[in-house]
Structure 1
């Protein structure tokens, strides 16, 4: 069997929260998907599934890349009736993912029921979060066992990068390779192989970390809000830290996972801690299950966030913060010094943090050999599944392997650690860590194993690097204070920005123009790509405001003209310029990709012309480009205004797409632009697109000299819409002024409807209105407010 898994059609069994969202993400990826559940007792047989599909549109964050995709999911039920529904539909499926409730008996019953309908080539996978894969496989017929394994998506499946792949003893290696390739490229996942042990890797280590945190919260008498203040971004973890994360996951779900650990890991040396704390059981008994019920460890009352106070047995306003001396320790950029100071400090928060890290390191090292092949699998599972910036082994290695190992051993002997189990011998074999350039440590083989050689990973030029890993940065072609242009000697050059949030400064503008000139001379194409998100948060507002306040209107106008010149340089380059977008592409970032020959966008691209939010209008050629597109779409004598209408609301309301697919619907991406699901494959695809355009005889578009505009009639019609919004108090007086100016530029100014203009005419209008708005006090207030708070001001 080849490593290729051909998936024309997939089925998901179980339309609960997880099953429905997995079906949604398969559909996002263009996979024809059937979603099954039990036949409804009343009404339409597919009622349960239809309700689940309808519910997808209400979930936040949205499981679907576009609400319209809900209609593509095919509803079905486990009935075997002849009404066209039922299990017969499974025969045409190449991949079947089971995602029903976590009960061994239910899952096994279902497998016996579906087995006769599963095609001879189809792969069957269970999305269990911790049940035994070998045990599940026992009920399968012989011919299906080699095509069965576990695949555990993390919630929410569209956004969480991690997918754990758990082979059964009988699983065929080629089946695993095919599924790994499909998960990586088609669904955009980071795949980690886990051994068939309870809760696999992510939840085994992640939930232990939460249990250790809960244990030490009590030991050191800290408040839940205090713990969240020190176990979030200060230690490289998500803002939701520990207890808010538990509320989001659901306290009942947490309790279930803890119970699974208690029931299935009786031999674990930490077993006595595998129980829900009394306060957790009390909250669950009251129905306070976290975010989904409106109260858990935290709750929101009006504008106040309240936290459970164990002493008072009631909620109080959450005021817990990290102590200044602990913040100072955590801000130390030297991990070895940081851990030494945490261990030495007498402050309860510092002692708490050392204890939590110590027990996490101890547990991870003790269990590494049972749960994973290498330390890499553990660190990536925790990073991708829990959003930590470093995994447990990376953190330990960065802090000084030998010293930390000695401290842990000392604490075990002194009876301070949660368990007296000894650290494994390999920890003390003279090593300085588990990760190095040549690979990550495998206890089973007592060697460092390199990353997977599966061909799909050749598409990742810069994979998510672990500590000790480095990937060649390419040869620098040219560099200034704003950009670096580099190449891998494959005929395509890449230009990356060096500014904070990849904003567009004068150095970036001049650098991009220089990069285009060099690409025309020496390369087949140019890709604009950033090593880290975002693509670009837009113009450098602080710099622009500084210019204005210094009274430099001429300098300011020159900057706008230079911005437009850069966009035009991208558009009319003699070699294709491809924008590789992921994360935010706002304002000028959006305009650059609008002018490129093609955009390759990661699914999680949040694209928008947001200038109205800071009292401005798009003036890097964005409005000009929309007017050009509207004229081309309308065709000779067509209705340009009708084409402009959908764009106008997007720009005037500063709308940002919630996915690359939605950006296509908003017209900010073209239908010919490509959407890529794995962010680490973005550069590869963008380079291939540039090369394909170049090899097929690329020429830039001819200058647009006959652009039909909506003119004065268009402006008047937009104004009527705006007056209604103003009177309904949906917009402020100043919003009205900004939107009127946007309408004026889009419609080509106060000229006759249907008049023909060129690009220069529209660019001049953009500049004029942009500079006039920028001089208004209210715009300057909006810019200053955005810079200070990161939020728009409605004045």
Structure 2
């Protein structure tokens, strides 16, 4: 089979989804042309232009860098149909109207390239019915592709075939969506709302129904059904507000219109809830209209009350006893909830029971196997575990008996019994649907393994579900060379050494520092390169403050200076190692984590990497080489230009450190200077280690050598005076506090090289000394202690 290359994509429809799909394509460097109807007035591309401009204002941003909106090519159906022939993939993403979609297909069909894949982004319309209007030559290349909103951040993409879709087309598209777009693919059957929305919306409807049964308020329900339950922090009703109540109503209507009591025994619970009807009547559609189940009035959050049709103060939480129940092991947790005397506990058991019941009854018709259901709920609805995973963890047969007892007692949503495979046969014998052999397929009546596509060879450690014991666990995989409580040093191939931090949030403690230094020495002796990769996000949140403060309490600033000097020496050891050290970054690389990354020979970063020097938030300055890096990079950038003034090259780095600015994507982190143009940005998090190892091997094979130690120029006292003048204006204008001014001035002093002439040549060691002294001075200050204690206790910066 020839390789399917996506050189250009057309997105049809510049609405919310279409525009954001186009934005994500730009994020991953795929050229894209965005189509919509010609505007009735003004420039013909007016509708698309408005949508593209709107992308820059959305929060969270669909673009890695807002300026990249300009890379979206704009088009309309009247003038630019010929552009479709240049596209290898055409994604239709217009409104959820079958008649509109069919009409559009008729118009575009003559212009679609002979090799191109045509896919409909729909949340639930029949893909087979959509295909019927297409010419026979296009039908084999047509399928459904369902992105979840917002497309940049949501992992899930569902692919749906028709009876005429060629299997290799889905394989090709799955490879592109996985590796090219960084998504997790689930193949869904062509049933109403596919997999995630079918199970997820049924779950939301079930939740709303049980809310009425148990008389709970929306804020209490969100408190119970958010992180405490292992689900998205927005809970149930805030999630509905974010999605849009009109969108939710549309998905519900799809279920109502395409199912019946004969095809779905839960059909009677699909009625539109009274509260949702009322909110739709009022035009309160959620976040997009700034009012839904909740709305903000000033700083206060209000919740809607159906009885009065008014908003009342929100903020109620469930009794702490239920939070404690939810922390118990799965089997004990479900028993406690089922037997709870209070309404919140009974409510939680009811919604979990309903989700197990629904998923089991419909597994055979909506999905190929249980793995697809659980992955869909993880990736599409932000669940820590899918319904089958939790059920299996809690004890398959015991939970099954509890569910069936409730069904028999009339407590469930419908009388449909659990399928026979739940109680008898391979699933019952294995204790669940996920096994080393694969996951249970109710339609095939057997366990089926994961799809074996070449793209998945890039995922050395794919995200595993509970029970998938045949998948490797990175914590114990490969050959362990050395291991402590804080760090594991290991290898997969004997060529590249991997260092994995084990501390909470991968914080850098003295033990981590010692282990990394030993790993570099070992890599130089016996390996071609070294990768710093710690599996799960974050890469590292920086120095372990909880380990540093006791040292300060016992030994004062001298003890801290010793630790800081060791950390600085580690950074230089990594920078000047005789083998390439590659930092594989996923999630947050903050403070010392950022410094660890920038002192590596190369960085391989997942698209959703958030990198920055944030020490100001705890009343400190970067002390492990971050400011020295900013000064050196400014000198290097000046040397690559025709300018002789270093200050313009220093300003952005200084500002980022002084304001604790964090890149909101790997792309923005590159603009801030924490990633270089030569660094690699990887769309899929599970491909990060594969790419990093190969980068290290490639660098070694090409004869990589550590850089020479060089002196470089600094801005000196004149640059320092300029920056301080700006800080004075910010302080006097009330934009920063007096303590912020103090810290900012100390940062400026380090990056400018202190009291020296402009252009003076300095070494890294000289700046590191200034950096260390500033750090140790600040750690002795009471206001810094306030900021550190505030961060450790609340996780939020204190501004004093």
In structure 1, the partner of 2:89 is 95
Tell me the residue number matched to 1:308: 304
Shift of 1:320: 2.7
Alignment of 1:330-345 (within 5 A): 330-332=326-328, 334-345=329-340
Secondary structure of 1:703's counterpart equals: coil
Q: How far is 1:312 from its partner? A: 4.1
Whole-Å separation in 1 of the counterparts to 2:339 and 2:736: 57
The aligned residue for residue 49 of structure 2 is 50
Equivalent residue for 1:540?
544
Aligned-pair RMSD on alpha carbons? 1.2
Pairing 1:766–2:771 present:
yes
Give, in whole Å, the separation in 2 of the partners of 1:328 and 1:537: 28
> 1:690 aligned to 2:689?
no
User: Is contact 2:373-2:386 (8 Å) kept?
Assistant: yes
**Of 103, 107, 113, which aligns to 1:113?**
107
Q: Which residue of 2 aligns with 1:571?
A: 575
SS of 1:142's equivalent in the other structure is: coil
Q: Structure 1 segments of 4 or more deviating over 4 A?
A: none
Report the secondary structure of 1:97's partner residue: strand
Contact 1:5 1:175 in 2 (8 A): no
1:541, CA displacement in angstroms?
Answer: 1.6
Question: What per-residue deviation string (whole Å, max 9, x for no partner) do you get for residues 665-684 of structure 1?
Answer: 11111111110000010011
Per-residue CA shift, 1:414-452, capped at 9, x if unaligned?
211111112111111141110012210111221111111
Aligned to 2:127: 133
Match of residue 317, structure 2, among 315, 318, 321? 321
2:627 to 616, 619, 623: 623
- Which residues of 2 match residues 708-787 of structure 1 at below 5 A? 708-787=713-792
Q: For residues 528-555 of structure 1, what are the alpha-carbon distances to aligned partners after superposition, in whole Å with 9 as ceiling and x for unaligned? A: 0111111111111222223223352211
Counterpart Cα distance in 2 of 1:730 and 1:222: 43
Aligned pair partner of 1:387 in 350, 373, 382: 382
| 1:10-68 CA distance string (max 9 Å, x none) | 10000000000000001111111000000000000000000000000000110011112
Deviates most, 463-472 or 375-384: 463-472
1:364 and 2:359 are equivalent in the alignment = yes
Distance 2:736 2:447 in 1: 61
User: What is the rounded CA distance, in whole Å, between the counterparts of 2:644 and 2:539 in structure 1?
Assistant: 35
Q: 1:168 aligns with which of 156, 162, 165?
A: 162
Say yes or no: does 1:146 pair with 2:140: yes
1:618-653 Cα distance to aligned partner (Å, 9 max, x none): 111111122122222222982222211121111111
Match of 1:402 among 365, 388, 397: 397
Query: Which has the larger displacement, 340-349 or 156-165?
Result: 340-349
Deviation at 1:685, TM superposition (A): 0.5
Cα distance change on mapping 1:296 and 1:773 into 2, 3 Å: same
TM-score (norm 2): 0.97
C-alpha separation between the residues in 1 aligned to 2:315 and 2:646? Answer: 56
**Residue number among 528, 534, 538 corresponding to 2:532 in the alignment:** 528
Q: 1:590 aligns with which of 591, 594, 618?
A: 594
Q: Give the corresponding residue for 1:679.
A: 685
Mapped pair 1:290 → 2:286: yes
Q: How does 1:95-494 map to 2 (within 5 A)?
A: 95-266=89-260, 267-332=263-328, 334-430=329-425, 431=428, 432-470=431-469, 471-472=472-473, 473-494=477-498
- For the residues of structure 2 that align with 1:378 and 1:490, how far apart are their CA atoms? 38
TM-aligned CA distance change 1:319 to 1:62, over 3 Å: closer
When normalised by structure 1's length, the TM-score is: 0.97
Structure 1, 252-261 or 586-595: larger mean CA deviation:
252-261
CA offsets per residue over residues 216-249 of structure 1, 9 Å max, x none?
A: 1111111112211211111101111111111111
2: CA distance, partners of 1:515 / 1:206: 46
Tell me what 2:705 maps to.
Answer: 699
Shift of 1:747: 1.0
Deviation at 1:559, TM superposition (A): 0.4
**Structure 2 residue runs without a partner (length 5+):** none
Contact 2:630 2:654 in 1 (8 A): no
Counterpart of 1:307 in 2: which secondary structure?
strand
CA-to-aligned-CA distance 1:692-729 (integer Å, 9 cap, x gap): 0011111111112x211111111111112212212221
Q: Does 1:553 align with 2:549?
A: no
SS at 1:583 equivalent:
strand
- Supply the distance in 2 between the matched residues of 1:343 and 1:740 (Cα, whole angstroms): 59
* CA shift for structure 1 position 311: 4.2
Cα distance, 1:481 vs. partner? 2.7
> Do the aligned residues in 2 keep the contact of 1:586 with 1:607 (CA within 8 Å)?
yes
**Stretch of structure 1 that moved more, 771-780 or 545-554:** 545-554
Distance 1:233 1:286 in 2: 30
Q: What SS does structure 2 have at the residue aligned with 1:550?
A: helix
The answer to whether the 8 Å contact 1:545/1:780 transfers is no
State the SS of the aligned residue for 1:418: coil
